Structure 1
Amino acid sequence: MSKREESVAAASTSSQQPRVAAAGGKVATTLSKDEYRQEVFKEQRWIHPRAWPLIIRRLYFEFFYHSLIDKGATLSFFTLLTAMPTLLAFYAITTLFLDHNRSQILQLTDEFISKNIPHNYADNARHIALVLIGSTEQSVIMLVISVLFALFSSSAYVRAFSRSANSMYGRLEGRSIIRTWATMWALTLTLVLGMVIIAGAYFMREDLLLPLLERLAEPLGWENVFLFMANHFLPVWRYVRWPAILLLTMLFIALLYHVTPNVQHGRFRWVTSGSIFAVAGIALVIYVLEFYLSHFAHIGLFGALGGVLSALFGLLIANTMLLLGIKLDAEVARIRELQAGISSEKLIRTPPRASNALNSYQKLNTQLEQQSVQLREQE
């Protein structure tokens, strides 16, 4: 028995050591956070090249034998729900802006509809615009309440990702329901804010922003803003836009990987093998989707329907890439433990964030087994 195995075995005699519960109900002890960081993460920072074929085979096994694509489809459904608070955030900002510039916006909107919307649909478009602009008279409190309800529904994505992340590590959730929900709510708020920032960074382009600012500058008195954006900010932003979007995406994916699983790596890691893999995969999906939309989406009805289907398929692949990324991080952690002499062939021993909920799980599982035995004996 190696020194690392002896330390883990000795941990099993202490009730103070963290416990890891596998998906099948098996419970094992592991090292403390500080011990794990020193003996595994620091000493085994580099993965031996011969371990990568095993990691790739485990990813293959997870994808085809553990229905990873099904988990990605579930997350894709919740992604559509998560988009709601993002739209509401844009909507709230827009309505607050419109409330102070109602007459100018109504005039610009009417001119835009007259020039760009077919005559048969112009009245409907004006009605929708009036409804949106008129809604600023409603109570701000009701707007806040609606956003909170939307955030509540969108947090389902984060909770679903947390369950999938735990399955990638082959363990159960050890945090209490209250702690889990509070954590996922806070993460949801952060990610929604991040989506708004990334979307704003993406659409802050000269071809989209300058025509709009040019139309709004004179009636709203924004001439200085227009000159600053046109002459100073946007020429520089043109070169830093994609690096900024990339860094923000890496940051929020790393945050998602750090918070959602019941795993305690130690300090926050900005970059991991899994996050790099996920960002590269999502970038490829976006490139292919933009290529399709720019070359084929305009070809009649079939092109439009194909654009919708390709967007949904791209959403599925992107969420699957996120899951593969966190699975890659889990397998890298397993290899580090194996290199440190820890028996992690069946269960990854990374310290959990909490194991308090395991007592309730074990108690309920024991009760169910006893009831099953009683039913069998009665027969």
Structure 2
Amino acid sequence: MSIHHKLERTIAAEQRALNDPQDRQPAKRLPGAAFKYAMIRAIKQFTVDKGTDRAAILTYFAVLSLAPLLLAVFSIMTLFLASAADQVENFAQDLVTQTVPSEYQELALNLVTTMTQSVSGGVIALIIGAVVALWSASKYVQAFARNINDIYGVVEGRSKVKFYLTTLLITLIMVVTVVAALISLALNKTIIDTVFAPIAQALGAQEVLTTFTESFLPVWDWVKYPVVLLLLILMLGVLYHFSGNVERKFKPLSIGAIVAVLGIVLAGVAMIIYLTYFASYSSYGAIGALMAILFVIWIFNIVILLGAEIDVEILRARQLVAGIPAEEQVQIRPRSVSTVEKQTEKHVASVDDGKVLRRSLSVVHRQDSQDHETNNERHE
């Protein structure tokens, strides 16, 4: 789709939202035939949109954002547990021991040590480091926002300040979610004592905390995995809803987010199985493990983009069931068109410059061609 077409679609979507009656809402229930239509069209549209190529681009930004993201995670954890920096490092080391295959634990532990040393310092330094790390990690969210706009067929109409602030806030939410997921996976008595013991001591409720810990942790060992899955689904819901320049009702537990998380879990399990049982037999050694990790990140981005396509096609199907003409374009209002007019003017000016160039130089080109033919005739 050309940029001119996207600009026209974005402006048309804004005009439609202003002129159409407000009671034309998508259907709440989706019949089986409509759901099947949405799933089939999502897969087809994912192929048409070159989803695997887009996922490769997102993988590039994910790799660039990985180190800043980890640094932001450690910075935020250290800020929240400022009086227990050593426990933060011990927590990270315990998490590595529990989740990383033994062959790669030394490398991961060295990375943890490097990260914890990077965030050492005063509170001001930690805050500045966290903000810089979040800004660097937000490049992935910015790239994802551009892909979401392409999937919806609109252009980015928000101002640069609003766009950057939005992606920075989304990145912060993602980092906090990752921190919560990591704590959920590695939660134990030491962490509970570190965080809540000072509070319980101040309130004189040490016995209550002890009783709660003894009764809570055995249950948490079973509950933590569904909680982590729910956190990931909510995180993707935020990414899907707020990153693009489209205005729609927020549904944190969307079908696309659920499908994406299931795909991420399957790919993650496959990577752990490979690193645990097969990587040591690979002739590529550590390079083979690195290639496997990059491949899995690519798969992650494939299923994330596929989930976004599914959400769009589910919305299209709901609109079609409600009688809204959405066969060609999903009827959805852009969040903002404040910069679309300027983009249109620049595009029109660029096209006009091309026309002037064609008209002016084509005359010279024809004259040169005629002179060349005349010279050839004379030589003959």
Normalising by structure 2, we get a TM-score of 0.72
Deviations 1:238-277 (A, max 9, x none): 01101111111111111111101221113x2122221121
Which residue of 109, 128, 133 corresponds with 1:145?
128
Deviations 1:331-362 (A, max 9, x none): 12222333333333322221111122211111
Instruction: Name 2:311's counterpart in structure 1.
Output: 329
Paired residue secondary structure (2:12): strand
Within the alignment, does 1:67 sit opposite 2:44 as a pair?
no
Within the alignment, does 1:154 sit opposite 2:161 as a pair?
no
Instruction: Check the 8 A contact 2:151/2:309 in 1, yes or no.
Output: yes
How far, CA to CA, are the matches of 1:362 and 1:63 in structure 2? Answer: 27
Task: Give the counterpart letter for 1:149 in structure 2.
Answer: V
The 1:232–1:187 alpha-carbon spacing in structure 2 relative to 1, beyond 3 Å, is: same
Once the two structures are TM-superposed, the CA of residue 78 in structure 1 deviates from its matched residue by 2.1
The 1:293–1:37 alpha-carbon spacing in structure 2 relative to 1, beyond 3 Å, is: farther
Once the two structures are TM-superposed, the CA of residue 151 in structure 1 deviates from its matched residue by 1.2
Instruction: Name 2:71's counterpart in structure 1.
Output: 88
The 1:300–1:331 alpha-carbon spacing in structure 2 relative to 1, beyond 3 Å, is: closer
Once the two structures are TM-superposed, the CA of residue 52 in structure 1 deviates from its matched residue by 4.2
Deviations 1:187-217 (A, max 9, x none): 111111111111221233xxxx57x78xx9x
1:300-315 aligned at under 5 Å gives the runs 302=284, 304-315=286-297
Within the alignment, does 1:184 sit opposite 2:162 as a pair?
no
How far, CA to CA, are the matches of 2:147 and 2:46 in structure 1? Answer: 13
1:1-379 aligned at under 5 Å gives the runs 22-23=5-6, 25-26=8-9, 27-29=11-13, 31-32=16-17, 38-41=23-26, 44-92=27-75, 93=77, 136=120, 138-204=121-187, 209=188, 231-266=214-249, 268-299=250-281, 302=284, 304-378=286-360, 379=362
Deviations 1:138-171 (A, max 9, x none): 4442332222221111111111111001111111
The 1:149–1:94 alpha-carbon spacing in structure 2 relative to 1, beyond 3 Å, is: closer
How far, CA to CA, are the matches of 2:327 and 2:351 in structure 1? Answer: 27
Structure 2 segments unaligned to the other structure (5+ residues): 94-105, 195-205, 363-380
The 1:97–1:242 alpha-carbon spacing in structure 2 relative to 1, beyond 3 Å, is: closer
The 1:230–1:28 alpha-carbon spacing in structure 2 relative to 1, beyond 3 Å, is: closer
Instruction: Check the 8 A contact 1:175/1:355 in 2, yes or no.
Output: yes
The 1:157–1:334 alpha-carbon spacing in structure 2 relative to 1, beyond 3 Å, is: same
Once the two structures are TM-superposed, the CA of residue 91 in structure 1 deviates from its matched residue by 3.7
Instruction: Check the 8 A contact 2:24/2:324 in 1, yes or no.
Output: no
Task: Give the counterpart letter for 1:192 in structure 2.
Answer: V
- Percent identity over the alignment? 28
How far, CA to CA, are the matches of 2:228 and 2:153 in structure 1? Answer: 32
The 1:309–1:345 alpha-carbon spacing in structure 2 relative to 1, beyond 3 Å, is: same
The 1:34–1:203 alpha-carbon spacing in structure 2 relative to 1, beyond 3 Å, is: farther
Q: What is the root-mean-square deviation of aligned Cα atoms in Å?
A: 3.9
How far, CA to CA, are the matches of 2:113 and 2:170 in structure 1? Answer: 33
Task: Give the counterpart letter for 2:25 in structure 1.
Answer: V
Normalising by structure 1, we get a TM-score of 0.73
How far, CA to CA, are the matches of 1:339 and 1:131 in structure 2? Answer: 52
Q: How many residues align?
A: 326
Structure 1 segments unaligned to the other structure (5+ residues): 1-20, 110-121, 217-223
